[in-house]
Structure 1
Amino acid sequence: MQKLTIATRVSDLALWQAYHIKKRIEKSYPNIEVVLNKIVSNGDKVLDKPLALIGGKGHFTKELEDEMLAGNAELAVHSLKDVPTYMPEGLELVAVTQRQDQSDVFLSHTYASLEDLPQGAVVGTTSLRRRMQLLQKRPDLKVKDLRGNVNTRLRKLKEGQYDAIILAWIGLHRLDLLKDIPFTQKLSLDMMIPPMGQAALGIEIVSNNEKVREIALTLNDEETFICTKLEREFISAIGAGCSAPVACNAVINAGEITFRVMLGYADGTHIMQERVIVNVSQAEGLGTKIAKEMIENGALKLLEDAQNAAFKDEMPQRL
């Protein structure tokens, strides 16, 4: 194999991720030329409405997968949180890179922390997951939708359109943007549970290419793979899309897995949540087990009602 083409989105963060993987592959396989196929995804095109209103799944992955199936790329680099729990026939998610800091972060030009926000303060986020957890803790806040790339979101904050916004810490860190924000507060995993797959990269390949499989597996981190497998099992069993008001996170520490899940209404009410700690040896099937227990307690109906209630005045567009 002389050349490997990586499919990637064109956002600053996606390109950082793709070039990061490109460098890792070139270091391990110096005789292989690695090039990028840069693609604008549907999630990058539709910037005037929340992702939860764009019907279907795979807002940030479908176009990349189409390129792979058409023979225009052998491998794709995704933010794992954006990857649906099903794979199109002919493609496989074979590796997950070592996870970095999974925290969400509070950002403001005026207030030092989430606790310091006055009653009625405007907080920006498009995520129903973040909205749910914010309003559970601070029902007095006004949560306003926030779309656009990272730089656009930070500009809107600086312009005073929001008193604060919540973003993933890792993306700001990778793009070296945290230094420009006067007040930042990293939110603990108990305070703000991340989405499935946050802060890990998913490596998707064309199934029938064994050399690409070999290359992809050199990028895999076993502990991260175990944790994100649990998260993806849970999301698959509960039937939640990437934009649903669902939080799901697994962490390994000293041979034990802490698994946190939460779902509910985006207004912070009707919350169901679980936090379990088991030995890593007992992790197999844990995501499915917790999902089934929550389903038995009414999670599916709650989630359906939550998604209907979140944007009841608007109709989704279908992919």
Structure 2
Amino acid sequence: MQTDVVRIGTRGSALALAQAAEVRARLMAAHDLPEEAFEIAVIRTSGDRIQDRPLSEAGGKGLFTKEIEQALIDGRIDLAVHSSKDMPTVLPEGLEISAFLEREDVRDVFIGRRVERLEDLPRGAKLGTSSLRRQALALRLRPDLEVGMFRGNVQTRLKKLEDGVAEGTLLALAGLKRLKMEHVASAVMDPETFPPALGQGAICIETRVGDARVGGVVETIRHAQTGAALACERAFLAALDGSCRTPIAGEAKVQGKNLRFSGMILTPDGREAHEIAGEGSVDDAAEIGADAGARIREKAGNRFFDSWD
């Protein structure tokens, strides 16, 4: 590869920087290059600036990506590192997801202020989360809970918990592992009853379409199985017009040449939920996801989706 410095764009949170550093380390190892060959550029996004209301009210998932994507379009960075679950299903013209790193643990964890499990929270206790999916799943299990908005990075949320803003919160285990903070988790949620966000645990790399130089650099660290799983999950999300306003969960698992997918949609109050499953060849990953999305949409009916509006 050429020796020009590769500029990696990322958000500035501790987790985002850890993810960018992981990408850099993998690229350094793959190309036998020093750290100086890769520059990490921090870009503040709208999602980082807006802390006073849920993302669903502020504009959705693109709030964590649009400024970084503009820097990529403008040529100020060469590649962008994102949490896959933050990525909208439709990307700006001229950009593409060119690689996924091997996926981390997809599960959520519960962190309690005074109890170890979600089930142990006192009746009517306040649960802090900014995720509609986590809200819906929690209320499905514990309809008595009061759910309050909990925005901010991992450290901010833990401080809010310590200060008594809520009695418990939910975070992704993958993020805690990348921050070497998994010890703060009180309990790991069962993915059968508390399925993850689509894309959870996977780091993706976004590049310019047709950029052969950067594409060649990134190709060396692409994890094919994770790519297939995410192609399925993103197709499911796209079939449902999914955004931060829609409580959607699911996971695709790849075993050899086979892919299995399970998905769920819920109303924000958790009172109604529909589940779907699909299976087939890993080569048909996107088709499996899209088909599952079409089937669950038909199963739930228009009335269900009208409740989101």
Normalized against structure 1, the TM-score is what?
A: 0.90
Indicate the SS of the match to 2:233. helix
Given candidates 52, 72, 92, the residue that maps to 1:88 is 92
Q: Which residue of 2 aligns with 1:79?
A: 83
Deviation at 1:281, TM superposition (A): 6.1
Instruction: State the distance in 1 between where 2:74 and 2:192 align.
Output: 43
Instruction: State the distance in 2 between where 1:132 and 1:197 align.
Output: 18
User: Percent of aligned positions with the same letter in both sequences?
Assistant: 35
Indicate the SS of the match to 2:289. helix
CA RMSD, 1 decimal: 1.8
Q: Which residue of 2 aligns with 1:266?
A: 268
Residue 26 and residue 283 in structure 1: after superposition, are their counterparts in 2 closer, same or farther (change >3 A)? Answer: closer
Deviation at 1:258, TM superposition (A): 3.1
C-alpha contact (below 8 Å) 1:94/1:203 kept by paired residues? yes
Gaps of 5+ in 1: 309-319
Gaps of 5+ in 2: none
1:26 paired with 2:28, answer: yes
Q: Which residue of 2 aligns with 1:226?
A: 228
- 1:24-64 deviation line (CA, Å, top 9, x unaligned): 11222245711011100110000010111112541111000
Q: Which residue of 2 aligns with 1:110?
A: 114
Matched AA of 1:207: V
Instruction: State the distance in 2 between where 1:73 and 1:214 align.
Output: 16
Deviation at 1:80, TM superposition (A): 0.6
Q: Which residue of 1 aligns with 2:164?
A: 160
- 1:46-95 deviation line (CA, Å, top 9, x unaligned): 00101111125411110001001111011000001101111211111111
Q: Which residue of 2 aligns with 1:143?
A: 147
Q: Which residue of 2 aligns with 1:205?
A: 207
Indicate the SS of the match to 2:237. helix
Normalized against structure 2, the TM-score is what?
A: 0.93
Deviation at 1:297, TM superposition (A): 2.9
Matched AA of 1:146: F
Deviation at 1:253, TM superposition (A): 4.0
C-alpha contact (below 8 Å) 1:264/1:303 kept by paired residues? no
Corresponding pairs, count: 305
C-alpha contact (below 8 Å) 2:274/2:300 kept by paired residues? no
Q: Which residue of 2 aligns with 1:244?
A: 246
Name which of structure 1's ranges 144-153 and 263-272 shifts more when overlaid on structure 2.
Answer: 263-272
Deviation at 1:237, TM superposition (A): 1.2
- 1:136-188 deviation line (CA, Å, top 9, x unaligned): 11111111110111101001111122111011111112112233x3x611112
